[in-house]
Structure 1
Amino acid sequence: MKRLQLFALFIMFSFSAGSQTDLETRLFELPDVIFEKIQTPEGFKSAYKLKIKQPLDHKNPDRGHFYQKVYLSHRGYDKHTAIITNGYSRGSNVITEVSRIADANQLNVEHRYFGESVPDSLDYNYLNFEQVTADLHHINSLFRKIYNGKWISTGISKGGTTTIFYKYFYPDDVDVSIPYVAPVNYSDEDQRIYTFLDTIGSDECRKAIYDYQVRMLKNSDTFKPYIRWYTKGKDLKFNYLNFDEAFEYAILEYPFSFWQWGHDCSKIPSREEDTDTHIQHFIDIVGMSFYSDASMEGYASHYYQSGTEMGYYGFETDDFKGLLKYLPMDPNPSAVFTPGKMEVEFDGTLTNKVAKWISENGNNMIYINGALDTWSATAVPPSDKKNSLWFFMADHGHASARIRNLDDNDKSILQIKLTEWLETGIDLNKADPSAYKTRKLVDMMTGSFNSSKQAYADTAYFDITLHMYPIWTDRPGHWLYVEQSVTSFPDKPYRQRIYRIEKDGQGFVSNVYEINDPSRFTGKWKNPAFFDSFGESILSEREGCDVHLMPTENGYSGSTKDDLCSSTLRGARYATSRVSIIPGKIESWDQGFDDKDQQVWGAVNGAYVFMKTN
C-alpha cells in the first residue's frame, strides 16, 4: 500500500514539475521561498509574489521568523537586477523607473514589520537597520543563484534611506545605489529642518505661510467645527491624539508639508479670503488624516524606527506663544508617535556613523532630490571626494523628483555615469515607456463630444454632450475633468466626475471620483487651470466603479468588474459601464440593475455613441 502511495505521489510531482517553467524550477530549489504566479507586467517574461522566510534576528535565527513579501518581475537570467528597498508596505507589484531604464529584473521588497511582512507577535527590538538590511542581504544572496548581471538598489523616501543604510552594512551587495528623496537625519529633532524652513522660498512666501498658521490658530474656534465635521465624514478617529491636539499638530506641520509637496505660494489664502477658502486650503495641504488613529497604526513601525535610530523632526513653537492650547511649548512637540505611546530612547550613533561613512566611502551612488522638498534639508550632502552623483532638482518636491523629470543636461550626465557603472548601454527614455501610450489614450478621451447624430436617428437616445479635459497636468498621474449634460441644458450637468488614468498591466484603468460640491466646477472644462488651486481632498473615489481598458486594433475597450460598482438610482443595487474608445468616437453604455439583476435604468439597446466635435 505504501509503495502505491509513494508511486502516486511521484507521478503527481513529476506531472507538476513537468508543467513548471525553468524559472519556477529554480525558485522551487531556493530554500524557504514560497511563490505564486501573478500578472506579468509589460516588458517582462513572468512575475511572482514571493514569501521569503526571514529570521527575526539574523544573528540568532532560533529566536523566531516571519515571511517577507517580495514581488519578482523576471526579464532574463543575464539581465541586471534591481532590488527595491521599500520603507513601508508594498501593496502591489509596481515597476520602478530604475528597472525600466536598466532593462532589469526587479525584486520589490516589502519592509519588515509592515503590510504582510510581520511576525505573529511584534517585538520591536528586532526592528532596526541592522536587521532590515540583513533581510535585503539574504534576498540578494538567494537570487544571485539565479541572476548573473549587475545589481542595483533603489528606494524612495524612507525606502531611499534604507538604500543608503543597505550600502553601509553590505557595500558589496550591489553595483549601483539610487536613493530618491532620502533623508539621513542626525537626531530625533534634526535642526537642519528648521534651517530649511527658515530659508526656503522668498521672505514674502514664508511670511504668508506663518500668517496663515497664525490665523488658523487664532480663529480655531471658527475653523474647527467645520473641520471636525469633515473628519466625521471621512470617518477619521482621534484617540491616540484627541481632535484638538491633532488640529494643532496639523497647523505646525503645514510649512513642512507645503514645501515637501512643492505647493504654490500664490495659492496661500490671504486674510481677506473667507472661511471656506482657509479650510479648503488646510485640507488640501495637510489635512487631518495624517494625525488620525488609522495613520498612527499604519505608520507605527516607522515611528518606532524614527524615535530609536533613524531620526526625525519636531516643531518649533517660539513663534506661537499664546496660540497653542493643547500642545506643549517646551520641549518642542515631536513628530514621532511611537506605537502605543511607548517610551523609547533615541540613539544617533548609527545614523551619524552612516552619514560619515557614506561621505567617505559611498561610491557609485546617485542621489535624486527635489530642491523644494523639506526632506532635502537632511539629504546626503554633495562631495567631490566620491565617485557619485547628486541631483537637487529645482522646482521639484518629494513626489516629482524623479529621473524622468531631470533636465536634458542632467539626464546626459546620469546616462554616461550609469552606463559606465553597469558596463552596458541604458536608455533613459524607458524611464516611463507607458507615457506615450497613456498620452495616446488621454488624447483620444480629451475634447467635447455629443450624441446628436445617434439621437436624431433613434429617439430612444437623448442628445447628450460630454466634455473631458485634462487637469492637474503638473501633478503625478493623468487626470480628466468630466462633465455630462443634456445638450439643450449645458449649464445643468447631471454628471460631474474626475477620472484618473493609470497603467494597469497590458492596459489601463480609469479610476472614477465624485467631486465634493461639484456645482462650483460647472463649465470649468473651459478653464482647466481653475482646478490648480484644489487638491485631491475634493475627491471621493467611487470604489468598484473603475473601468478597466485593454488595447484593441485602433483604440481601447473595457468595462467595470462584475457588480462591484454600487448604485441606488431608481432602486438599483449596482451599475455597470462598458466603454469603447477610438480616435474621434467614444461609446459608453451605463446600466443599473436591481437585486434580481433586472435593469432599472440606462440605455436598453446599446451604448451611447459620442462623436468628437472639437
Structure 2
Amino acid sequence: MKTLRHSFMPLLLTGLLASAVAAPSAATARPAEARPAAAPAAATRPAAGDLSTRLAAIPGMRVVKENPAPAGYRSIELRYRQPVDHRHPDRGAFEQRLFLLHRATDRPMVLHTNGYDLDYQDPALRAEPTEVLKSNQISVEQRYFGTSTPHPTDWTKLDIWQAATDHHRIVRALRTLYRAPWISTGGSKGGMATVYHRRFYPHDVAGSVAYSAPDNTGNRDGTAEDRFLERVGSPACRDALTAVQRELLGARRTQTAGRIARSAAAHGDTLHIVGGADRLLEFTTLMLPERFWMAQGEEGCGRIPGRGATGAALYAWFDGVMGLQGYTDLSVSLVTASFYQLGTQLGMSERAAPQLAGLLRHPGIQRIRTLVPRNIAMRFQPAAMPDIDRWVRRHGSELMFVYGGNDPVRAHPFRTGPGSRDTHVYVGPHAGHHMSLDKLTPGDRERATATLRRWAGVDGPTA
C-alpha cells in the first residue's frame, strides 16, 4: 500500500483546478487574531527529559514516543486534543497526530501542513524550508485523515476553516516553547492547506512557502486545464499519449478492464465504489495526460508504449503512471476525506477529451461522486475558493508559490494582486508536480532562498 498510496495522492489534485468551491466566507469565519507581540527567544537547548516534560505540560498535548532522528535533531510523536467543531468546542474532540523535529528553541519553527495522514511520512522527514533554515519542524496530520479522525465521523465538520483553526491552535500552543519566527509550508494539497491557514489566521507565521498548490477558482468545465494540456510538452509526446488513450478505450478495452478486475481480486479487494473495472478504466484513462505530466513529464515521453506493445506491457506502463490499485474500495476508503473535500469545497473539473470521441461509455464518470460512497452526503459550496483567491490578491502577504512549468496545476496558479505584499510566484522550467527550490533557475533559487531567510530572521546557513 505504501508505494501505491504515494503514486495515488498527487492524482487527487489533477481535477481540482477549475472550480468555484466553498469554505466559510469572511463573514462567517472566525476572525483572524491580531499579530502576537514578539516574545524573547529561548536561548537554551532543553535537556532530553526537560523537552518532553515541557511538551506534556502544554494543555491538550500528549507525548506518545520518541523516534530515531537526524543528527542534531530529536524526533517526537505527539497528540494534540482538538474540538471536532471549533465553533462549539464542547461538542466532542479528537486527538490530532503531530511529528515534532526539535533542533533548538532559539531556532525558527516550520509548520508543515501535510494535507493528508502521517502514515506514509517518515517522522524524520524534513521539508525544504526546514533544511534551508536549519529549523525545528512540526508536521500536522490533516483532520479526518489517519488517526486524526473523530468517531463518530460528522463529515460536515471537515472544511478548510476548521482545518485552518486546527493549525492555528497548534501554533498558539507550541509558541509557548518555540518563540522564534514561524514559517509554514506544504506541497500539493498540503500547500493548499498552508494558504487556507494564512487566509483565516494571517499573522500566525512570518511567511509561507506553498509548493504546487492550485488556486481552485475559475470554470468548472476544465477549459483552462484542457488548454494547458494542449500546449505542454512536444506535439509528438502529446500524440503518443492520445494514441495510448485511444488504445486503452478501444482495441485493448476489454483486455485492460479484465486485468484491472483480476488485480483487485488478487489483492483481496473490490471495485464497488467506482462501479467496476470498466468505469475505473475510463476514469483513469481520462486523467492519464494530467497524471503523466505531473509525475513523469518530458523524461517519460520516450517510455510511452507504441502501437506494437503487448497487452501486458501497456498495462504495466498504465498502472505505473496511474497507480490503479489506489482506486479499489480499500484504497478509496482510506482517502474518502480528500474526495469529500473535492466534492464540497475544493472542486473538481472535467476534461473535454475530444480525442476520445466515440470511445466514452460512462457519462458523468469524471464527477467526484464516482469516488465518494453514496451514503456520504455532499453539498458543493461555491464561495470558498473565490474567497481564498480574493484574499491572496487583495490582502496576502509574505507568501511564496512555487510551481513546475509542466505541472497541470499551473493552469490555475495563485497570482499576486494590487493588495498583496511581499508575495512571490516562481516557476521551475520543465519541472513537474514534485517541486523544490532546487528546480528553479539559479537566480530565482537565490532570490527565493533569501526571501525565506529574511522572513525567518536567519541571515545565512547555520550548521
- The answer to whether the superposition gives a TM-score over 0.5 is yes
Give CA deviations for 1:550-570 in whole Å, capped at 9, x if unaligned. Answer: xxxxxxxxxxxxxxxxxxxxx
Q: TM (normalized to structure 1)? A: 0.63
Aligned-pair CA distance for 1:317: 4.7
Mapping of residues 76-91 of structure 1, within 5 Å: 76-91=104-119
Deviations 1:216-263 (Å, cap 9, x if unpaired)?
111112433344434444444211121111111111111111111133
- Structure 1 residue 143 corresponds to structure 2 residue 174: yes
Local SS of the residue matching 1:389 = strand
Q: Report the counterpart of residue 308 of structure 1 in structure 2.
A: 344
Q: Is the 8 A contact 1:359 1:386 kept in 2?
A: no
Larger Rg: 1
- Which secondary structure state, in structure 2, belongs to the residue aligned with residue 119 of structure 1? coil
Q: Tell me the residue number matched to 2:430.
A: 395
Aligned structure 1 segments of 4 or more residues deviating by more than 6 angstroms: none
Tell whether the 8 Å contact from 1:183 to 1:380 is kept in structure 2 after alignment: yes
- Which of the residues 396, 406, 409 maps onto 2:443? 409
Residue 204 (structure 1) aligns with: 236
Aligned twin of 2:4: none
Q: 2:91 aligns with which of 58, 63, 77?
A: 63
Is 1:316–1:333's contact at 8 Å kept on the other side of the alignment? no
Residue 423 of structure 1: how far off its partner (Å): 2.3
Paired residue secondary structure (1:340): coil
Which residue of 123, 129, 139 maps to 1:108? 139
2:294 aligned to 236, 244, 260, which one?
A: 260
Write the letter of the residue equivalent to 1:136. Answer: H
Instruction: Please state whether the residue corresponding to 1:387 is helix, strand or coil.
Output: strand
Identical aligned residues as a percent: 27
Alignment partners' CA distance in 1, 2:371 and 2:323:
21
SS in 1 for 2:302: helix
Structure 1 contact 415–426 (Cα < 8 Å) conserved? no
| Separation (CA, whole Å) in 1 of partners of 2:444 and 2:203 | 27
1:98 maps to which residue?
Answer: 129
For 1:294, the aligned partner's letter is L
Pairwise CA RMSD of aligned residues? 2.2
CA deviation after TM superposition for structure 1 residue 43, in Å: 3.6
Deviation at 1:33, TM superposition (A): 0.9
Q: Distance in 1 between matches of 2:339 and 2:200?
A: 22
Q: Which residue of 2 aligns with 1:279?
A: 315
Cα contact 2:392–2:416 (8 A) shared by 1: no
Between the two proteins, the alignment pairs up a number of residues equal to 407
Q: Is the 8 A contact 1:296 1:337 kept in 2?
A: no
How does 1:274-423 map onto structure 2 within 5 Å?
274-325=310-361, 327-328=362-363, 331=364, 333-335=366-368, 337=370, 339-341=372-374, 342-381=376-415, 386-399=421-434, 401-423=435-457
Match for 2:187: what amino acid? I
Q: Tell me: CA distance 1:60–1:222, structure 2 relative to 1, closer, same or farther (3 Å).
A: closer
Give me the TM-score of the superposition, normalised by structure 2.
Answer: 0.82
Post-superposition offset of 1:364: 1.2
CA separation of 1:290 and 1:196: change in aligned 2, threshold 3 A? farther
- Aligned residue number for residue 270 of structure 1: 306
Whether the aligned pair in 1 keeps the contact of 2:392 and 2:415 (CA below 8 Å) is no
1:166 aligns with 2:197: yes
How far apart, CA to CA, are the structure 1 residues paired with 2:108 and 2:254? Answer: 58
- Equivalent residues in 2 for 1:488-507, closer than 5 Å: none
SS at match of 1:113: coil
Paired with 1:338 and 1:245, the residues of 2 have a C-alpha distance of 11
Is the counterpart of residue 218 in structure 1 residue 243 in structure 2?
no
- State the structure with bigger RCO (CA 8 A, min sep 6), 1 or 2: 2
Stretches of structure 2 that go unaligned for 5 or more consecutive residues are 1-46
Larger strand fraction of residues: 1
Matched ranges for 1:594-605 at <5 A: none
CA distance in 2 between partners of 1:291 and 1:50 (Å): 31
